[in-house]
């Protein structure tokens, strides 16, 4: 009987809790951790002490910018008091009826503190490998190039298409503000958090906060609570946009078809207006999600270097 009992003994039960916790921290996936927590009372007592979690929201959620983030998944995360690293992957957060199918060649990035300070959106129909056109003499050829581009603009970029992309960029801007709200809410609820990354399922954009920036955001949130609210009527949005029929990328040796660059900056009317140099640096700063070869960053550089005169400016309140 003793031999039989020994043979059926679970060797996993012999592991110390620290080793089991080490294994659980390697799982990352919230769904696997939930499954482990229902295996036994011992596992249920260990799982709340994990440090690393990855969450994928499988369905659409619509939150307002002001409201507290609530869902069964986030309610579960609240119980993880020792959470240090969190990765959240979520769908589009805004209720928008897209006229066209979602383009895979769409990227956005944000500059933020407790609010989205600026937003850069870049979209293209497609990317193809293409050799650069032969170099031409400047001067006379510039006028010819401008005439050809005007013809291409009339052929390939219609006003309704530009408006459609403009509305899509505004929707993505609103979506990035929702995502930032999620990030700030997680930072507030998890005091031991050292790093958080939020990406969307289509890899168009991401919000990443690590290290000292988390402490800075907590301090800004506390200061925000103790400071009288700023009148929202004093906030304007500076919008810059540029639509091109095509764009050659010399470093990547790619041709970007019908690229659209749109930049939105939140500007307080009481502050001094910032110059073009600051705005250009803001558009070039940071990186796009899943842009390993730097194609989209190069596209912004090329537009600012060679097509800045085609960029229109508007103010929206």
pLDDT tens across 227-251, in order? 655 555 556 889 999 999 999 999 9
pLDDT tens across 14-34, in order? 889 999 999 999 988 888 888
Q: By residue range, what is the domain housing residue 289?
A: 51-316
Kindly calculate the radius of gyration of the chain based on its CA atoms and give it in whole angstroms. 25
Contact assessment for residue 12 and residue 39, using Cβ atoms and an 8 Å cutoff? no
Whether 189 is in a domain gets the answer yes
Give the distance, in angstroms, between the CA of residue 217 and the centroid of all CA atoms in the same chain: 17
Give the distance, in angstroms, between the CA of residue 298 and the centroid of all CA atoms in the same chain: 18
Question: Quick one: pLDDT at residue 203?
Answer: 86
Q: Which residues contact 280 (CB under 8 A, 6 or more apart)?
A: 304
Whether 64 is in a domain gets the answer yes
Whether 2 is in a domain gets the answer no
pTM here is 0.80
In the numeric block, the tokens 């006229």 are attached to 99
Stretch 105-123: mean pLDDT, rounded? Answer: 92
DSSP 149-162: HHHHHHHH--HHHH
pLDDT tens across 272-290, in order? 556 788 899 999 998 899 8
Domains contained in the chain, number: 1
Whether 224 is in a domain gets the answer yes
Comparing C-alpha atoms, which of 130, 86, 127, 78 is closest to residue 104?
127
- Tell whether the torsion through CA atoms of 188, 190, 196 and 200 is positive or negative: negative
SS3 at position 43: helix
């Amino acid at each position: 009987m003793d031999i039989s009992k020994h043979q059926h003994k679970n060797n996993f039960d012999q592991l110390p809790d620290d080793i089991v916790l080490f294994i659980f921290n390697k799982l990352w996936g919230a769904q696997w951790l939930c499954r482990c927590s229902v295996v036994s009372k011992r596992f249920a007592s260990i799982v709340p002490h994990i440090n690393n979690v990855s969450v994928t929201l499988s369905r659409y959620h619509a939150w307002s910018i002001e409201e507290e983030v609530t869902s069964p998944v986030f309610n579960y995360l609240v119980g993880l008091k020792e959470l240090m690293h969190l990765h959240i992957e979520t769908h589009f957060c805004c209720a928008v009826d897209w006229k066209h199918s979602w383009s895979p060649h769409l990227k956005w990035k944000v500059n933020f503190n407790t609010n989205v300070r600026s937003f850069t959106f870049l979209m293209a129909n497609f990317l193809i490998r293409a050799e650069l056109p032969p170099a031409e003499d400047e001067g006379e050829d510039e006028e010819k190039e401008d005439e050809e581009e005007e013809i291409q603009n009339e052929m390939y970029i219609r006003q309704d298409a530009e408006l459609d992309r403009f509305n899509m960029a505004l929707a993505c801007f609103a979506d990035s503000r929702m995502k930032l709200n999620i990030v700030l809410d997680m930072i507030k609820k998890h005091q031991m958090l050292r790093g958080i990354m939020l990406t969307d399922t289509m890899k168009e954009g991401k919000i990443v906060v690590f290290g000292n920036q988390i402490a800075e955001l907590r301090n800004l949130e506390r200061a925000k609570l103790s400071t009288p609210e700023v009148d929202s009527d004093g906030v304007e949005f500076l919008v810059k946009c540029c639509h091109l029929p095509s764009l050659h990328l010399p470093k990547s040796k790619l041709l970007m078809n019908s690229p659209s660059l749109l930049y939105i900056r939140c500007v307080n009317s009481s502050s001094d207006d910032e110059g073009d140099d600051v705005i250009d640096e803001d558009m070039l700063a940071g990186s796009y999600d899943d842009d390993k070869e730097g194609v989209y960053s190069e596209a912004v550089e090329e537009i600012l270097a060679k097509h800045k005169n085609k960029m229109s400016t508007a103010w929206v309140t």
